[in-house]
Structure 1
């Protein structure tokens, strides 16, 4: 079940990042940090 949640959060995070990047280009650094944090969260979900 954790793997399912990890995959779902990864997809949502990816789509959200795409929208976020297109809306606020000046915030690219913040978006990158958020993206990395999201990837770590997905990894933790899979590992958990």
Structure 2
């Protein structure tokens, strides 16, 4: 039997079970903010290569 708590990681944020557990008024803005931070870091990484 797998322990769900071991799988709670940012990498699993796109899994259906993760989105089911962590959704709502508190979590949705947080997940959007984390996605925005990821995009900014990706953009900064591409700018550094140029």
**Scaled by the length of structure 1, what TM-score is found?**
0.55
Question: Larger Rg: 1 or 2?
Answer: 2
Q: Give the unaligned 5+ runs of structure 1.
A: 1-12
Moved over 6 A (4+): none
| Relative contact order higher in (CA < 8 Å, ≥ 6 apart) | 1
TM-score (norm: length of structure 2): 0.53
Q: CA RMSD in A?
A: 2.6
More helix by share: 1
